Every structure is written in C-alpha cells, then in structure tokens.
Structure 1
Amino acid sequence: MLTAQTRPQTQVVGIVTNRGIGVPDVHVMNLSKNQATITDQEGRFFLAAKTGDTLLFSAVQLQRRSLVLSEDMLLTPLLLVPLEEFVNALDEVILRPYNLSGDLEQDLANGAGPVKVASTMGLPNAYAKPRTQAERKLFEASTGGGIIPLNPILNGISGRTKYLKKVLARERKYSQTEKVRYSYPDSVYIKELKLPADRIDDFFYFCEVDPEFSALVTGGDALRTWEYLVLKSKAYRKANDLD
C-alpha cells in the first residue's frame, strides 16, 4: 500500500463510498487539469493532482460532489469521498375529478362534464409556469414580509441563500443534460456512438462536466450538439477502454 512518505505528492489515491461501501464506475475529474478517471470495482481511484485543484465526483443515482484539495488531503494515504444518493422529489400531483372503476360504461357516465382546471376556472396566473422545488426554496429564502424582511437577511448570514443558488444551478444543468439525453433513443447511441447500453447515462455525466457542452445545449443547435457527442464519445471510449 502506498503511504504518505512513498507516494508522490502529485498522485491522489482515494475511494468513493456510499453508505460505507465502495462505489464503482464513478467519474472523478480534475477540473483544474482537465483530466479524469473512473473508480474501480472497489471504488478506488488514482489521479494526478496538486494542492488547490478541484476534483468533481459524479455517478448515476448519486449527488455530484466537488472537492478542493488541501495539503493534508494530498498527504493522507487514502482519501475517503462519501457520496449521497440523488433523490428527485415529485414536485406536483395531478388529481383527477373522478375515480375510474374499470367499467367503461360506468366511467363514461361518471366522467360526464368538463374537467375543472385553473385555466377553465379563470384563476389568476393560470398559465404561469410552476416553479421547481429548488426555485420555490430559493424564492422562500430570498423574500419576506414586513417593513424589514427577515428571511433574506437571516438566510444571507447563514449561507442558505448561496447554497440554494448552487442547488438551483445544478438542477438546471441536470435538466439540460436530460433534455439532450432523451433527444434520441438508446439504439442511436449504441449504434452510432458505439456506447454500451449501461454506459449511456455515464457518458452524459462525462459530457456535462465540460463547459462546452452546456454552451452548446443553451445555443439550441442540434447539429452542432450531435457533432460534439460524436467527438466526445470517441474520447469516452478511449478513456474507458471500450474500443
């Protein structure tokens, strides 16, 4: 086993865990050097880095995490990086105006009459786009009533507002990635990009950490985005020995 005395200071040896168990196939990217690797079956990784570099950890079903390396982290024999599970909470529930029994004639009779929704009832803001969970939390943290609203002040001091802004930015970036991910069926990625079916989601995490990917998605140019995915898939296959 490598020790702090024998391991070069530019080499980080670590293990990514979830609930105390090593997690394989986690992307570990050194954003400062634009280099990346993937954890092995035990969750271990080896990556060149120096003090002050930022490492980004991402994997399917787990929350991404960034870590700025300190001198103590570089000297530790094994850097432990726990990741939490990603929970995508349901933002809204649609209630039907009647229950279905399975009997077609009975359901048709019970379902007679117009469905009442905000727009048909003439309610204000009926066509307003509902806020996501992250948007609602940020709105709540940054607004308040009274002569001197306390929410923005208290949340600003505690750092909650800054944290929620980061959560919202991450949510929007994830939403962009999902939009591109499901623009084509899996068969296209398998046949055209030569990606294994179980690596497609991981490939898009690989793309997401690249600032160029976000700029392409925002621009809305489907042709340029596809050309980018073709080039990026070659780099991904090479990095993962898939060719």
Structure 2
Amino acid sequence: MVRIKFFLFSILFLCSSEILAQTENIKGKIIASGDLVGIHIINKTAGKFTITNDFGEFEIPAKLNDTILVSGVEYVPKEIIVDDISMQAKQLVINLEVNLNVLDEVVVGKILTGDLMTDIENSEAKREMNFYDLGIPGYTGPRKTQSERRLYEAQSGGGLVPLNPLINWITGRTKRLKEQIEREEIGIAINEAKAKYAKVIFEDEPFSETLQNEYFYFCGDDPSFKTLSDVGNELVMLQFLKEKLEAFKIHLEKK
C-alpha cells in the first residue's frame, strides 16, 4: 500500500512539474482609451518581447508564473503574473491606465518609462533555464539542411582508411561545404532578425527598405550576430541591434 501511494505521488509530482515547465503562446488584448499600437510586452522571466498591433493585440510565449511587463509611453506600466487560468485559456486581457502624472516624483526602485530599451534594462529580465543548466542531455537543433547532409556525407566513410573524407578534404570540397552552410545560416538569421526586430529598430528612423536590408547585412558581418542568434535571447539581441544601428549610421556618414 505504501509503495502504491509513493508511486501515485511520484506520477502526480512529475505531471505537475511538466505543467509548470510547459511554455505556450499566450494571446493578449490591451484595453485602453489611448493609442493601442506599439505597446511593449516583455516576458521578464523568459527574456522574450513583442509589441501590440493596431488593435492592441499581441502574442508572446509564456509559462505558469512568468512575469509579463506591459509598458507604453502614455500608460502606467503594469506587471502581470501568468496564472493557471491564463495558461488554460491561453489568453490575457489587460486594462491600462493613461499616465496623468504631471508633477515631479521621487521614485524608489526600478523606473519604467514606456521606452522599450530602458524598460528592458530596468526589468531584471533573465534568461529562461533549460536542460543544459540542469545537466540533462538533450537536443534542440533543427533538422539538417541539404548542405549539412552533404557535409556529413563528405566527412563520413568506412574501412580502415576512410577514403571519402580524405579525398573531400584534399580537394577542398569539405571546406567549401562548411563555408556554404555558414553563409546559409547567417542568411536565415538575418531574415529572422529583420522579420522580428525591424519594426522596433526603425520606429523612429526614416530608413528606406534598401537601407534597412543593408543594415541587417551589416549586422550579419559581425561574428557576434550569429552567436546571439543561436543563443535565442531576444532582449540581448535587441540591445545588440540597437548598438549596431549607431555604428551603421557612422558607416553611412563615412560613405
């Protein structure tokens, strides 16, 4: 009987742990009397962010007990803890108050301004823990591309002296395949960054579509770009892109 109770308790504990760790895409709606577009939604716990569309709608990945910071220039900042009801409904409805403060105030603690980069720096957002932190083996990589499969074939072979890898190394085919894979990966990362960050990066910049493309390729030339893209922390990547924007402006002036 004791063993049965222990077994049932273990199953219940494992199921509860899985529910707590499960990340879902939560859809949200901002209710406010002012402008609803471009309000910043920051998941401080997971290090993710997004902005609202013209109708105050958004979608952001979150799990139980994550802290969501909602910040807009004309609104009073608001923090929400994702509870089990929100997780089950996969939906958040957030009411914001218009910021009517006109007097100077003494502020104690973190300052939330409505500016995305400032609020990110003040939010103490942390990277989400993964299985590497816990010492658990796992794989999160994508399926191999055609170039990656060709490289694998070029580097594999049988026998006491595998001839296929040796021939490909001598002829330079292995090196060319590696360079091709690297170019493809950077190109994919550039396209993903443009789709995700362009609206935030250029919200106050009168850059043409051509200049925006040139800017993202300028970022892709920096070795840190691919590394940050692989890490997947959106807040750190956004900070990097903001810094590269200033460097890109200097680059344009020199041209």
Tell me the TM-score normalized by structure 2: 0.39
More helix by share: 2
Tell me the TM-score normalized by structure 1: 0.40
